[in-house]
Amino acid sequence: MHTDVPRLVAPDRVADLVALVTASGGEVAETVSPLDGSTLARIPQSSLVDVDGAFARARAAQPVWAALGASERGRRLLEFHDLLLAEQAQLVDLIITETGKSRRDATDEVFHAAMTARYYGVHAERFLRRERRLGAIPVLTRVDVNHVPKGVVGVISPWNYPLTMGFSDGVAALAAGNTVVAKPDAQTMLTALAALEVLRRAGVPDDVWQVVAGPGGEIGTALVERADHITFTGSTATGRKVAAGAAERLISASLELGGKNPMVVLEDADLDAAVDGAIRGCFGNAGQLCVSFERLYVARPVYHAFRSRFVDAVRALDLTVGLDWSCDVGTLTSPAQLEKVSAHVEDARAKGAVVLVGGHPREDLAPWCYAPTVLEGVTESMDLYRNETFGPVVALYPFDTDDEAVELANDSVYGLNASVWSRDGHRARALASRIRSGSVNVNEALAASFGSLSAPMGGFGDSGLGRRQGPEGLLRFTEVQTVASQRGMGVGAPAGVSREKFAAVMTSALKVMRALRL
């Protein structure tokens, strides 16, 4: 029997939200809640004509939006921050109803989206300020570097974090002076539309951020074919197609893709803290998080002690699915996720891996719920050894030396997030710097890097291209323009001076500039 059946979104509320989709035809797609499988909404589907219209309106609106200036755009993003926090409870209920995640994880989405809006609302003006650079001829050559908006940014966002992944990229694009056409995942359209409603109430004009809906192969491709920059969060396989489409048009793309993230526990680590970090890092949002851990490497001297504490902690997790605060893990979001997770675990079990805890669905809690699972004895012959599971499944491995830990952590095509645990901060940071990963947290699972908005976040290898967060997360949505102004003598040889003489003068001048380190 499913616990705490969701409070379904009221029909009039659904009608208000789906009216925000740019769609003119009669086709619809039905969405269901992973909490109990009940119908949530019938989402209007956009046509290619609708996508064309959205981009036309976005292009017309972009110069006006950019002309407001970074300060005014930032003020509206700060208002968005305030409204997100004010409407936190309603947004969290909606996120849970669409994704099945725990209330803690859904609340983290609101916090991260608000933090992103605040960060760029406060700092965009400084990041976009015209920069003076050293000119070819000191004093006579003035060089200004401008950051010019790309134009219309296409945002293709996933179902696992529909608020923060749906808006963190787009908010930065807005701050930089761009307009946005977004295609949220079909499963979580209501969350994206509710946040869009809040964004518009914060003062962002309707045409500045528009939402289209439809199959990724059709509507997602249409965004790639029309945008001036495309940002995509999702699987590596789809990310390659997005990158190929962007390359064909010579537009830029930022891609956050898959991960098979490692956590390393050294022999001097605080084991209680490491266990707590592993619980959060492995099972948040039922493991449906690109930065969560699926490989856990533990120094052999403390391996058995850690394993015992970790397994006990996993058994103690509250698996109740619903809207209140008691839930620790949440459910998988779709039948496809349940099928993939079950297949990975059964393949490993059949080939000799040992399930220490979990290893089975919990359909008594929710249709696609899966018990948090810890395995031991996983080998290269098993599907989950290298392939991303994207569920509440982690494998334990012992190691003997720091060099071996680094080698094991780097034994992956992915490089998105990692974690190192040790009481010796210098040792941990030295080891962390050797791991090929876009983010490495020391004595924390993922929140230290992910919550540090001034720090860039992204992946190495098959985990993607580009960075979100930090100045880099905003400047990716701009073109760099150099304006060089010359006064007095020109850069070439003055009239009446031979080329030979000019070359000699230039040689002397270059030596002087070298000496002055100019």
Residues marked active site are found at: 256, 290
Residue with tokens 């969560």: 292
Structure tokens at 470: 């930090």
Structure tokens at 335: 């039948």
Our CA angle for 360, 361, 367, nearest 5°, is 180
Strand partners, 156: 183, 232
Q: What is the rounded distance in angstroms from the CA atom of residue 334 to the CA atom of residue 390?
A: 12
Q: What is the rounded distance in angstroms from the CA atom of residue 261 to the CA atom of residue 251?
A: 30
**CA dihedral of residues 267, 268, 272, 274 (deg, nearest 10):** -70
Is the Cα dihedral 75, 81, 85, 86 positive or negative? positive
CB of 25 closer than 8 Å to CB of 37:
no
Residue with tokens 């292009």: 59
- Which of 462, 296, 480 lies closest to 384, judged by CA? 296
Strand partners, 483: 144
Cβ neighbourhood burial of 85 (10 Å; 0-12, 13-18, 19+): middle
User: How many H helices and E strands in the chain?
Assistant: 18, 20
Q: What is the rounded distance in angstroms from the CA atom of residue 312 to the CA atom of residue 134?
A: 61
Q: What is the rounded distance in angstroms from the CA atom of residue 281 to the CA atom of residue 263?
A: 9
- Which of 363, 391, 319, 329 lies closest to 37, judged by CA? 363
Is the Cα dihedral 247, 248, 252, 253 positive or negative? negative
Q: How far apart are the first and last CA of the chain?
A: 74
Helix, strand, coil tally for the chain in percent (to 5): 45, 20, 35
Number of Cβ within 10 Å of residue 297's Cβ equals 22
Q: What is the rounded distance in angstroms from the CA atom of residue 267 to the CA atom of residue 418?
A: 17
CA 131 to chain centre: 29
Say which residues have a Cβ less than 8 Å from residue 59's Cβ, sequence separation at least 6. 151, 152, 179
CB of 187 closer than 8 Å to CB of 20:
no
Q: What is the rounded distance in angstroms from the CA atom of residue 30 to the CA atom of residue 51?
A: 20
468 phi and psi, to 5 degrees? -105, 165
